[in-house]
Amino acid sequence: MNSKPTKLNRQLKPRIGAVDRRARTPVEPSSHSMEKLLHELRAHQIELEMQNEELQHARAALEASHNRYLNLYEFAPVGYLTLTPEGKIIEINLTAAALLGVQRSSLINHPFANLIAPQDSDRWYLLFKNALKHEGEQKNIELTIKRDDSHFYARLDCLRVMSDDQSPMLRITLTDITESKHAEEELRIAAVAFEAQEGIMITNADNLILRVNRAFTDITGYSAEELIGQTPRLFKSGYHDEAFYTDMWECINRTGSWQGEIWDQRKNGEIYPKWLTITAVKDSTGNITHYVGSQTDISVRKASEEEIKQLAYYDPLTALPNRRLLLDRLQQALATSTRSKKYGALLFIDLDNFKSLNDHLGHDMGDVLLQQVAQRLMDCVRKGDTVSRQGGDEFVIMLEELSKNIKEAAVKAKTIGEKIIISLNQAYQLTSHEYRNTPSIGITLFINHQHEINTLLKRADIAMYGAKAAGRNTLRFFDQDMQEAVTARAALEADLRFALIKNQFKLYFQRQTRHDGQTVGAEVLLRWEHPERGFVPPHEFIPLAEEIGLIMPVGQWVLEDTCAQLKRWESHAQTRDLQLAVNVSARQFHQPDFTEQVCAILNKSAIKADRLKLEFTESLVFDDIDDTIAKMERLKEIGVSFSIDDFGTGYSSLACLAQLPFDQLKIDQSFVHNIGVKPADTVIVQTIIGMASNLGMDIIAEGVETEEQRAFLELHGCLTYQGNLIGKAMSLEEFERSLGI
């Protein structure tokens, strides 16, 4: 209440209780004066009431102003802080405290730098120091602020102000920008995604193109300006019918999206495959507003798939179907023949003496021949028939829909087979070489699923071997006798696999003697003593062992047993100087570690290496002459000697022969047998002896059966012999007895 005297108070004070100064006696007011006084009192009261009402209004206004202050400052949408020059918080509103996740009382005098994430602390320090130096200049920065165990992104607007005592302070407006940062990040990601390698096209609901990315223009060849306002019908290739597009849009309208492989057309007219995904964009009411199409050019992938298919199903040399594709087509042909009741046929074709071509002219010429054979076979069959290459020089032809009559079908198959023989008998031009070759053909008929596919192929294979047995360059049909022969061969193969484990192999020895009767060594011969079959002839089981790969462990066993025997003979005067010759197969010799195997065996047996002689055939030597020379030279360094076996039966190049480090040349028994019978063979023997002498090689003749043969050989300079005249192949016991041990 205001205590200052009012105007009325000042007027009343002299009058109330007035004293007559002259009489010094109180004067009684008159009636008129009292009325006037009462009137003034009522007016004063009214004035006081009005002043009180004004005071209440002022208080209400002050309270309203305070509430507005709270709303504008304490509960503002942004935080407010004031920092001392030391960076401590001296003032903070409730919004800022809530953003920081800390009670306001705990933040007062708290260093603001402690609330900054470590990665931004240096940036904050530099801004803080800089802002305090520039009064009235607002600085701003975006920082990562810690909040409990998490963080948020904030924008700080900083302004230097002066306190009442003229010390600088920093006033900060703190704004949470986490959502805008995330939105910005999403936009940035979306922008990068839009310009990704995948082509993207956006259309409106009417399918008019609104926007495309660069990848889309690269794929289609159109510029963005050429596409805006067009429809995707611009890319139609004509590859798909209207039903395709109807189904596509039905799926989009039903599910909201579609994806699949589609063929489109580029601006240059090229038809290409792509993987397309179309997605409908809908608003909040469910109405379609846009379509987004993303596409990937899969031309390279499709080409790779075709290449893989070609590699998987076609022979790379001849481009003919391979075995896998033949089996697939044969399966289909069997199903077709079930419905049509017509016979088909399989023709198994093998080129006669193909290996000799590789030996003479090289594998590259062999490849040229196979390509020409493939073309001739294609020319001999009908359009729907299948010509396939199985590998090597083997081809299989499948003939379909021949006839419902088995005899008529056989006649048609035979006619085509004979046509093939005539065609393949014609001369081949292999660059500068003219070459002739013949085929052996086996035929089997098929209908529905009477036999399994593998059985049919085996039957055709068996028939082909029958054609070879009949003298080659002919054809044969499969019959039961052939099947029985194959069954017997399978049984022999099964027994052969266990022969080594069961110690059924034996080493036999055939003496090698000089003209003066002195035994210089022996050839080691492998024999198989079967418990039921008895002795199995070498020509029956050795080629089979080669074919099934058993020759390698068997060959190693022969070498090990031979070296062990040489070691045992070192203690006898009659045998310590003998040399044993071991035949080495091509598969065994061409193993990468063959030389290491021989060295290991020699070290294990601890014998003199010059007691071991390895015999090779001509075909082995010239299969890979560089590999042969390298291995022979390595073994010769340690003392092993070499003999070339069956010389004269192959097609050795004398120039190549001169490069090879052979110690001995063996005349084949077929020439020795005809000495004095065939003049040409007699001359060949003389020539071989002379050639060996000129090359500095020892020479030995095998198959010497008569004294006349031995005398002729001695007369012409061959002084070492092997054959029944000298001694047949004997067991170890017999051989040692013949030496007098």
Express each pLDDT in 473-513 by its tens digit: 999 998 766 556 666 777 888 899 999 899 999 999 999 99
pLDDT at residue 589 above 50? yes
DSSP codes of every residue in 475-500 = EEE--HHHHHHHHHHHHHHHHHHHHT
> What b/e readout covers 521-530, taking b as 16+ CB neighbours within 10 angstroms?
bbbbbbbbee
E strand or H helix at 701, and its extent?
A: strand 698-702
> How do beta strands 168-176 and 150-162 pair?
antiparallel
Contact 538, 527 (CB under 8 A): yes
Does this model's pTM top 0.75? no
Which class would CATH give 79-183? alpha beta
Express each pLDDT in 319-329 by its tens digit: 999 999 999 99
CA contacts within 13 A on the Cβ side of 262: 26
DSSP codes of every residue in 37-62 = HHHHHHHHHHHHHHHHHHHHHHHHHH
Which of 74-88, 185-199, 514-528 comes out lowest in average pLDDT?
A: 185-199
Quote the pLDDT of residue 28.
56
Which of 43-47, 674-678, 724-728 comes out lowest in average pLDDT?
A: 43-47
Question: Above pLDDT 90, what percent of the chain?
Answer: 52
Quote the pLDDT of residue 734.
95
Mean pLDDT across the stretch 324-342?
A: 91
- How far apart are alpha carbons 76 and 92 in whole angstroms? 11
Exposed, middle or buried, 162 (CB in 10 Å: 0-12/13-18/19+)? exposed
Give the residue, 693 or 721, on which the prediction is more confident: 721
Quote the pLDDT of residue 580.
97
Question: Residue 2 — very low, low, confident or very high, per pLDDT cuts 50/70/90?
Answer: very low
Which of 120-134, 155-169, 296-310, 399-413 comes out lowest in average pLDDT?
A: 296-310
Question: Residue 130 — very low, low, confident or very high, per pLDDT cuts 50/70/90?
Answer: confident
* Nearest to 84, CA basis, from 174, 172, 170, 162: 170
Give the residue, 712 or 549, on which the prediction is more confident: 712
* Nearest to 523, CA basis, from 514, 515, 512, 513: 512
Give the mean pLDDT of the chain: 86
DSSP designation for 28: P
CATH fold label, 203-303: Beta-Lactamase (3.30.450)
Quote the pLDDT of residue 656.
64
Express each pLDDT in 233-253 by its tens digit: 999 998 899 999 999 999 999
Helices (H), 293-446: 299-313, 323-340, 354-361, 363-380, 406-424
CATH 3.40.50.1970 assigned to domain 493-738? The reply is: no
Quote the pLDDT of residue 12.
42
Q: What are phi and psi of 38, to 5 degrees?
A: -60, -40
CATH 3.20.20.150 assigned to domain 335-478? The reply is: no
Give the residue, 194 or 430, on which the prediction is more confident: 430
Quote the pLDDT of residue 686.
92
Which of 180-189, 197-206, 392-401 comes out lowest in average pLDDT?
A: 180-189
E strand or H helix at 191, and its extent?
A: helix 178-194
Which of 53-67, 163-177, 692-706, 715-729 comes out lowest in average pLDDT?
A: 53-67
Contact 355, 618 (CB under 8 A): no
Question: Residue 584 — very low, low, confident or very high, per pLDDT cuts 50/70/90?
Answer: very high
Question: CB within 8 A of 177, min separation 6: which ones?
Answer: 142, 153, 154, 155
- How far apart are alpha carbons 578 and 560 in whole angstroms? 17
Question: Residue 198 — very low, low, confident or very high, per pLDDT cuts 50/70/90?
Answer: confident
The count of residues in the chain is 741
Question: Residue 257 — very low, low, confident or very high, per pLDDT cuts 50/70/90?
Answer: very high
Contact 369, 379 (CB under 8 A): no
